[in-house]
């Protein structure tokens, strides 16, 4: 079990660092298929790695600090858990450094093509508290539930466009 301290931003543009970094294709499937608007349980394929993760907020009103529990799966277990589930998100993740900060640039594919999010994770609270976002970040969306992975699962770009427009975001390619 680990603690995840993070901020998530809409990208103002796709960073050049991400364009130069080879991506890892990620398929996230949220469980259960029918149920809460934001399920806490996720099966993930990242390249040839498979896992099941449960994320729980430490405080109800703060999505930047989460307790994370993960177990490894094999490909057969992943396939069995996700076979009939349509609550999927597909993205290409570029792991980069932006202005000295480690970052994950997620370029969404398929139904969410045009959406690009940047996550910054921090080793401790002091690092998170002193963070200033790089210029490539458009808007802090850490607390925007409509952009949380489980809520995005199964949706299209058109479904979330009104919320993105409110934040001044235009689709990126």
Mean pLDDT of the chain: 92
Is it true that the peptide bond before 107 is cis, omega within 30 degrees of 0?
no
* Range of 31-35, 79-83, 164-168 with top mean pLDDT: 164-168
Q: How confident is the model at residue 160 (pLDDT cuts 50, 70, 90)?
A: very high
Q: How confident is the model at residue 1 (pLDDT cuts 50, 70, 90)?
A: low
Q: Tell me how far apart the alpha carbons of residues 140 and 125 are, in angstroms, rounded to a whole number.
A: 17
Which pTM value belongs to this model? 0.87
Residue identified by tokens 């093509």 is 113
Q: Tell me how far apart the alpha carbons of residues 172 and 91 are, in angstroms, rounded to a whole number.
A: 13
Residue-range domain boundaries for the chain: 2-166
Superfamily of domain 2-166: Hypothetical Protein Pfu-838710-001 (2.40.320.10)
Q: Tell me how far apart the alpha carbons of residues 134 and 122 are, in angstroms, rounded to a whole number.
A: 15
Q: How confident is the model at residue 88 (pLDDT cuts 50, 70, 90)?
A: very high
Tens-place pLDDT, residues 42-71:
999 999 999 999 998 888 888 888 899 999
pLDDT at 162 exceeding the cut of 80: yes
Residue among 148, 142, 152, 146 at smallest CA distance from 6: 142
């Amino acid at each position: 079990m680990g603690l995840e301290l993070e901020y998530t931003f809409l990208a103002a543009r796709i960073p050049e660092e991400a364009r130069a970094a080879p991506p890892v294709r990620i398929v996230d499937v949220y469980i259960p298929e029918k149920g809460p608007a934001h399920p806490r349980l996720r099966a993930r394929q990242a390249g040839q790695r498979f896992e099941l993760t449960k994320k729980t907020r430490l405080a109800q009103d703060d999505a930047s600090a989460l307790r994370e529990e993960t177990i490894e799966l094999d490909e057969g277990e992943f396939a069995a858990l996700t076979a009939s589930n349509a609550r999927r998100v597909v993205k290409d993740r570029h792991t980069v450094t932006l202005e000295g900060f480690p970052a994950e640039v997620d370029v969404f594919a398929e139904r969410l093509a045009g959406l690009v999010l940047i996550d910054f994770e921090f080793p401790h609270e002091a690092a998170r508290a002193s963070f200033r976002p790089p210029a490539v970040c458009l808007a802090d969306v850490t607390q925007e539930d409509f952009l949380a992975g489980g809520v995005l699962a199964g949706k299209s770009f058109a479904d979330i466009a009104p919320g993105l427009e409110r934040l001044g975001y235009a689709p990126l390619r």
